[in-house]
Protein backbone atom coordinates (compact mmCIF):
# COMPACT_ATOMS: atom_id res chain seq x y z
CA UNK A 1 0.00 0.00 0.00
CA UNK A 2 1.31 3.40 -0.93
CA UNK A 3 2.23 5.49 2.11
CA UNK A 4 -0.67 7.77 2.99
CA UNK A 5 -3.26 5.75 1.06
CA UNK A 6 -6.50 5.58 3.03
CA UNK A 7 -9.42 3.26 2.26
CA UNK A 8 -12.79 4.67 3.24
CA UNK A 9 -15.69 2.45 4.23
CA UNK A 10 -19.17 3.89 3.74
CA UNK A 11 -20.55 3.79 7.29
CA UNK A 12 -24.19 4.81 6.91
CA UNK A 13 -25.70 1.34 7.29
CA UNK A 14 -24.73 -2.30 6.88
CA UNK A 15 -21.58 -4.34 7.48
CA UNK A 16 -19.06 -1.48 7.49
CA UNK A 17 -17.40 -2.51 10.79
CA UNK A 18 -16.57 -5.98 9.42
CA UNK A 19 -14.90 -4.46 6.35
CA UNK A 20 -12.83 -2.14 8.53
CA UNK A 21 -11.75 -5.12 10.64
CA UNK A 22 -10.45 -6.92 7.54
CA UNK A 23 -8.67 -3.81 6.24
CA UNK A 24 -7.07 -3.24 9.64
CA UNK A 25 -6.02 -6.90 9.81
CA UNK A 26 -4.16 -6.66 6.49
CA UNK A 27 -2.47 -3.40 7.45
CA UNK A 28 -4.46 -0.94 5.33
CA UNK A 29 -5.26 2.51 6.69
CA UNK A 30 -9.03 2.80 6.84
CA UNK A 31 -11.63 5.26 8.03
CA UNK A 32 -15.41 5.50 8.16
CA UNK A 33 -17.14 7.74 5.63
CA UNK A 34 -20.35 9.44 6.79
CA UNK A 35 -20.00 12.97 5.37
CA UNK A 36 -18.58 14.67 2.26
CA UNK A 37 -15.64 15.85 4.41
CA UNK A 38 -14.89 12.23 5.35
CA UNK A 39 -14.91 11.33 1.67
CA UNK A 40 -12.34 14.05 0.91
CA UNK A 41 -9.84 12.24 3.16
CA UNK A 42 -9.87 8.87 1.36
CA UNK A 43 -8.27 7.50 -1.80
CA UNK A 44 -10.63 4.53 -2.32
CA UNK A 45 -14.00 3.42 -0.99
CA UNK A 46 -15.75 0.24 0.12
CA UNK A 47 -19.55 0.12 -0.25
CA UNK A 48 -20.62 -2.60 2.21
CA UNK A 49 -23.51 -5.00 2.27
CA UNK A 50 -26.72 -3.89 3.95
CA UNK A 51 -30.07 -2.80 2.56
CA UNK A 52 -29.56 -1.10 -0.79
CA UNK A 53 -32.69 1.07 -0.78
CA UNK A 54 -31.92 2.32 2.73
CA UNK A 55 -28.32 2.99 1.77
CA UNK A 56 -29.46 4.89 -1.32
CA UNK A 57 -31.72 7.11 0.79
CA UNK A 58 -29.02 7.67 3.42
CA UNK A 59 -26.52 8.62 0.72
CA UNK A 60 -29.01 11.28 -0.37
CA UNK A 61 -29.83 12.60 3.11
CA UNK A 62 -26.15 12.75 4.12
CA UNK A 63 -25.36 14.71 0.92
CA UNK A 64 -22.92 11.98 -0.10
CA UNK A 65 -24.58 10.61 -3.24
CA UNK A 66 -23.33 13.24 -5.68
CA UNK A 67 -19.77 13.51 -4.25
CA UNK A 68 -19.34 9.72 -4.20
CA UNK A 69 -20.67 9.48 -7.76
CA UNK A 70 -18.26 12.16 -8.94
CA UNK A 71 -15.26 10.53 -7.23
CA UNK A 72 -16.12 7.15 -8.79
CA UNK A 73 -16.57 8.76 -12.22
CA UNK A 74 -13.16 10.41 -11.77
CA UNK A 75 -11.54 7.00 -11.22
CA UNK A 76 -11.54 6.48 -7.46
CA UNK A 77 -11.20 2.73 -6.81
CA UNK A 78 -14.31 1.25 -5.24
CA UNK A 79 -15.32 -2.18 -3.94
CA UNK A 80 -19.02 -2.96 -3.53
CA UNK A 81 -20.26 -6.07 -1.75
CA UNK A 82 -23.87 -7.32 -1.90
CA UNK A 83 -25.89 -4.09 -1.48
CA UNK A 84 -22.74 -2.22 -2.52
CA UNK A 85 -22.82 -4.11 -5.82
CA UNK A 86 -26.41 -2.97 -6.35
CA UNK A 87 -25.35 0.65 -5.75
CA UNK A 88 -22.65 0.29 -8.42
CA UNK A 89 -24.75 -1.47 -11.08
CA UNK A 90 -25.93 0.27 -14.23
CA UNK A 91 -29.28 -1.58 -14.14
CA UNK A 92 -31.23 -2.77 -11.07
CA UNK A 93 -34.36 -4.90 -11.29
CA UNK A 94 -36.78 -5.47 -8.41
CA UNK A 95 -35.68 -2.19 -6.82
CA UNK A 96 -37.87 0.65 -5.63
CA UNK A 97 -38.76 3.36 -8.14
CA UNK A 98 -36.91 5.98 -6.10
CA UNK A 99 -33.78 3.86 -5.63
CA UNK A 100 -30.67 5.30 -7.25
CA UNK A 101 -27.39 3.71 -8.22
CA UNK A 102 -24.07 5.13 -9.34
CA UNK A 103 -24.22 3.19 -12.65
CA UNK A 104 -20.44 2.80 -12.39
CA UNK A 105 -20.27 -0.84 -13.45
CA UNK A 106 -21.80 -2.11 -16.68
CA UNK A 107 -23.83 -4.91 -15.13
CA UNK A 108 -27.50 -5.63 -14.59
CA UNK A 109 -28.44 -7.01 -11.17
CA UNK A 110 -31.58 -8.45 -9.65
CA UNK A 111 -32.04 -7.58 -5.97
CA UNK A 112 -32.39 -10.46 -3.48
CA UNK A 113 -32.36 -12.92 -6.38
CA UNK A 114 -30.84 -15.73 -4.32
CA UNK A 115 -33.79 -15.62 -1.92
CA UNK A 116 -34.77 -14.29 1.47
CA UNK A 117 -32.68 -14.36 4.66
CA UNK A 118 -33.62 -18.00 5.29
CA UNK A 119 -32.26 -18.90 1.85
CA UNK A 120 -28.79 -17.58 2.65
CA UNK A 121 -26.00 -20.04 1.93
CA UNK A 122 -22.26 -20.58 1.90
CA UNK A 123 -20.24 -22.16 -0.89
CA UNK A 124 -16.72 -22.55 -2.23
CA UNK A 125 -15.76 -20.36 -5.19
CA UNK A 126 -12.89 -20.57 -7.61
CA UNK A 127 -11.35 -17.09 -7.86
CA UNK A 128 -9.53 -16.31 -11.09
CA UNK A 129 -5.77 -16.27 -10.48
CA UNK A 130 -6.02 -18.05 -7.12
CA UNK A 131 -5.32 -21.72 -6.45
CA UNK A 132 -7.33 -22.24 -3.26
CA UNK A 133 -11.14 -22.03 -3.16
CA UNK A 134 -12.74 -19.04 -1.46
CA UNK A 135 -15.46 -19.72 1.12
CA UNK A 136 -18.22 -17.26 0.17
CA UNK A 137 -21.21 -16.19 2.26
CA UNK A 138 -24.37 -15.19 0.33
CA UNK A 139 -27.06 -13.31 2.31
CA UNK A 140 -30.11 -12.05 0.35
CA UNK A 141 -27.61 -11.63 -2.44
CA UNK A 142 -28.11 -9.86 -5.76
CA UNK A 143 -27.69 -11.90 -8.94
CA UNK A 144 -25.80 -10.50 -11.91
CA UNK A 145 -28.07 -10.99 -14.92
CA UNK A 146 -25.97 -9.12 -17.48
CA UNK A 147 -22.34 -8.08 -17.88
CA UNK A 148 -20.98 -5.53 -20.32
CA UNK A 149 -18.07 -6.17 -22.66
CA UNK A 150 -15.58 -4.36 -20.42
CA UNK A 151 -16.51 -6.35 -17.28
CA UNK A 152 -14.05 -9.03 -16.20
CA UNK A 153 -15.60 -12.01 -14.40
CA UNK A 154 -13.34 -13.14 -11.54
CA UNK A 155 -15.63 -15.80 -10.02
CA UNK A 156 -18.88 -17.59 -10.81
CA UNK A 157 -21.42 -19.63 -8.89
CA UNK A 158 -23.48 -22.14 -10.89
CA UNK A 159 -22.48 -20.37 -14.11
CA UNK A 160 -23.47 -16.89 -12.89
CA UNK A 161 -20.87 -14.16 -12.24
CA UNK A 162 -20.54 -13.30 -8.54
CA UNK A 163 -17.25 -11.35 -8.50
CA UNK A 164 -16.56 -8.84 -11.26
CA UNK A 165 -14.23 -5.98 -12.05
CA UNK A 166 -14.00 -3.17 -14.58
CA UNK A 167 -11.31 -0.50 -14.52
CA UNK A 168 -11.21 0.81 -10.91
CA UNK A 169 -14.53 -0.77 -9.85
CA UNK A 170 -14.88 -4.22 -8.25
CA UNK A 171 -18.07 -5.85 -6.95
CA UNK A 172 -19.11 -9.09 -5.25
CA UNK A 173 -22.56 -10.62 -4.77
CA UNK A 174 -21.32 -12.20 -1.54
CA UNK A 175 -19.82 -10.95 1.74
CA UNK A 176 -16.02 -11.43 1.77
CA UNK A 177 -15.81 -9.49 5.04
CA UNK A 178 -17.64 -12.30 6.91
CA UNK A 179 -14.83 -14.86 6.54
CA UNK A 180 -11.23 -15.08 7.71
CA UNK A 181 -10.06 -15.14 4.07
CA UNK A 182 -8.83 -11.66 3.13
CA UNK A 183 -7.96 -12.34 -0.52
CA UNK A 184 -10.80 -10.24 -1.97
CA UNK A 185 -9.75 -7.24 0.10
CA UNK A 186 -6.11 -7.80 -0.86
CA UNK A 187 -7.15 -7.97 -4.52
CA UNK A 188 -8.90 -4.64 -4.07
CA UNK A 189 -5.85 -3.14 -2.34
CA UNK A 190 -3.73 -4.25 -5.31
CA UNK A 191 -6.22 -2.53 -7.61
CA UNK A 192 -5.90 0.66 -5.52
CA UNK A 193 -2.11 0.48 -5.83
CA UNK A 194 -2.21 0.17 -9.61
CA UNK A 195 -4.58 3.11 -10.05
CA UNK A 196 -2.62 5.56 -7.87
Supply the CATH number for residue 84's domain.
3.40.50.880
Name the pLDDT band for 195 (thresholds 50, 70, 90).
confident
Residue 1 lies in a domain: no
Question: Is pLDDT of 138 > 70?
Answer: yes
Judge whether 169 lies within some domain. Answer: yes
pLDDT averaged over every residue in the chain: 91
- Read off the pLDDT of each residue in 36-56 and give the average, rounded to a whole number: 93
82 classed as catalytic: yes
What percentage of the chain has pLDDT greater than the value 90? Answer: 76
Per-residue pLDDT, 117: 58
52 lies in some domain? yes
Instruction: Identify whether 156 is part of a domain.
Output: yes
pLDDT exceeds 90 at position 94: no
Active-site option among 19, 157, 175, 185? 175
The pLDDT score that the predictor gives to residue 2 is 46
32 among known catalytic residues: no
Residue 118 has pLDDT above 60, yes or no: no
- Is 80 exceeded by the pLDDT of residue 119? no
Of 3 and 189, the structure prediction assigns the larger pLDDT to 189
The more confidently predicted of residues 120 and 114 is 120
Containing structural domain, residue 133 = 6-195
Write down the catalytic residue from 32, 60, 66, 82.
Answer: 82
Number of domains in the chain: 1
The residue annotated as part of the active site, out of 19, 157, 177, 185, is 177
Q: Following DSSP, what letter does each residue of the chain receive, concatenated?
A: --TT-EEEEE-SSSSHHHHHHHHHHTT-EEEEE-SHHHHHT-SEEEE-SS-HHHHHHHHHHTT-HHHHHHHHHTT--EEEETHHHHHHEEEEES--TT------EEEEEETTTT-SGGG-EEEEEPPTT-SS-EEEEESS--EEEEE-TTPEEEEEETTEEEEEEETTEEEESS-GGGSS--HHHHHHHHHHHHH-
Domain-embedded: residue 157: yes
Q: pLDDT tens digits for 158-189?
A: 999 999 999 999 999 999 999 999 999 999 99
Residue 136: predicted pLDDT = 93
Whether 177 is catalytic: yes
Amino acid sequence: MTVGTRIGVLALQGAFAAHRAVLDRIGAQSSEVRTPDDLDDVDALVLPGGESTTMSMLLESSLLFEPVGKRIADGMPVLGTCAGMILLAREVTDGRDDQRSFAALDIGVQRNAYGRQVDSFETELSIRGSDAPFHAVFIRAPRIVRTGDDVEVLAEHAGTPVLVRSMSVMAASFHPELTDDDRIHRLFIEQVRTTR
